[in-house]
Amino acid sequence: MIGSAMIGPATTGSATTTRRPTIGVFDSGVGGLTVLKALLEVIPAADYLYFGDTARLPYGSKSVETVARYATQASQFLEHCGAQLLVIACNTATALALDKITRACSVPVVGVIEPGAERASTASQKRKVVVIGTEATISSHAYRKALEARGLQAKEKACPLLVPLVEEGWIEHPVTEQVARIYLDEAFQDSFKSSDVLVLGCTHYPLLKPLLRRVAPAHLTIVDSAESTAGVVGELLRVTPVSTSTEDERRRLPHAIEDVRHVNLEE
C-alpha cells in the first residue's frame, strides 16, 4: 500500500551551532496541513516532516485495529526519518491509537484532541458544545470525555461525507455546502440549539471554515485544534528541548530532498 509523504528539506547541525528540532506531522491526508501551518507560525525555527496517508484514507470509516496499525506504521516511519517529536494531526488516529503510538515510538507524541478540548473549554460561556467529526472519532467519544472532564456538555455529530469532499477539492462546492448545512441542522437541535461553540473534530474541517461560518448559527465560536496543538508543542519544546544524537544525524539526508515522494509502508 502506498502512502504519500511530503517531506521538507533535511538539515544537519554541527557541534558549535544550535540544532533545529525536527517535528514529524502525520495525518490520513491533506487535513493535517492545517496543523502544519499553525506549527510553522508558532515554531518557524524547526524542520518538518509531513506524512499524508492518502492511499489509505479515509480513516474515519475503518476499524480501531486498522487505524491503529496504519497510524503506528506512519509514526514509526517518521521517527525513522529523524523526527524528534511527533504530532498526530488526525483526530481519528488520536482518538483510537494515541496510546499505541506513544508506546511504539521513543520520541514525544502530541495528539490534537486534548488541545482542542481545552480551547473549547476556554471559549464556551454556556458550557454546551457541539463536536463534528468522522464516524470513528465520534464513536470513540474521545471529545465528549475530554469536554465533560472540563465541565462541559457535548453533543457529537458524525459527518462522514466531509473528508471525501475536502480531499476531492470541493471546498466551496454547492454540494459541500448543502451537506454541511444538513449535518449542522441535525447537530444544533433541542437543548443544544443554545450551544456557543462548534468544535471541528477533524483536521480536514478547518479547510471548510468559511463555508461552515455561512451555514452555522451566527453566535458560534468555531474551534479547531490546530492553533492550540501548535501552542502545546511550542511549550513542550520550551520546557523540554529535544536532543539530537549522532544516530539522528545519520538518519537525515545531507541535502534537500524532493518536496513530495511516495513510500510503501507495507513492505
Average pLDDT over residues 199-203: 96
| Burial degree of 219 (CB within 10 A; 0-12, 13-18, 19+) | exposed
Catalytic residue selected from 81, 105, 159, 202? 202
Model confidence at 251: pLDDT above 60: no
Q: Give pLDDT, residue 257.
A: 42
Asked whether 84 and 10 are in contact (CB, 8 A), the reply is: no
Residue 151: burial class (beta carbons within 10 Å; 0-12, 13-18, 19+): exposed
Edge-to-edge strands of the sheet including 85-88?
109-110, 85-88, 22-27, 47-52, 2-7, 260-264
Could you check whether 2-111+227-264 and 113-225 share the same CATH topology?
yes
- Does the annotation mark 90 as catalytic? yes
pLDDT digits (tens, 9 = 90+) for 91-112: 999 999 999 999 999 999 999 9
2-111+227-264 adopts what CATH topology? Rossmann fold (3.40.50)
For the chain, the structural domain boundaries read 2-111+227-264, 113-225
Number of helices (H), then strands (E), belonging to the chain: the values are: 11, 10
Residues 127-163: tens digit of each pLDDT: 999 999 999 999 999 999 999 999 999 999 999 999 9
Annotated active-site residue in 81, 90, 105, 159? 90
Q: What is the mean pLDDT of residues 194-205?
A: 96
Q: Which of 15-24, 33-42, 63-72, 204-213 has the lowest mean pLDDT?
A: 15-24
Report, as an integer, the average pLDDT of 224-236.
92
Where residue 219 falls among pLDDT bands split at 50, 70, 90?
confident
Is 113-225 in CATH node 3.40.50.12780? no
Locate 183 and state its grid cell: 449535518
Q: How far apart are CA 18 and CA 110, in angstroms?
A: 23
- Name the average pLDDT for the chain: 88
Lowest mean pLDDT among 52-56, 180-184, 218-222, 246-250: 246-250
pTM for the model stands at 0.84
- Residue 39's pLDDT band (cuts 50, 70, 90): very high
* 202 part of the active site: yes
238 pLDDT tier (thresholds 50, 70, 90): confident
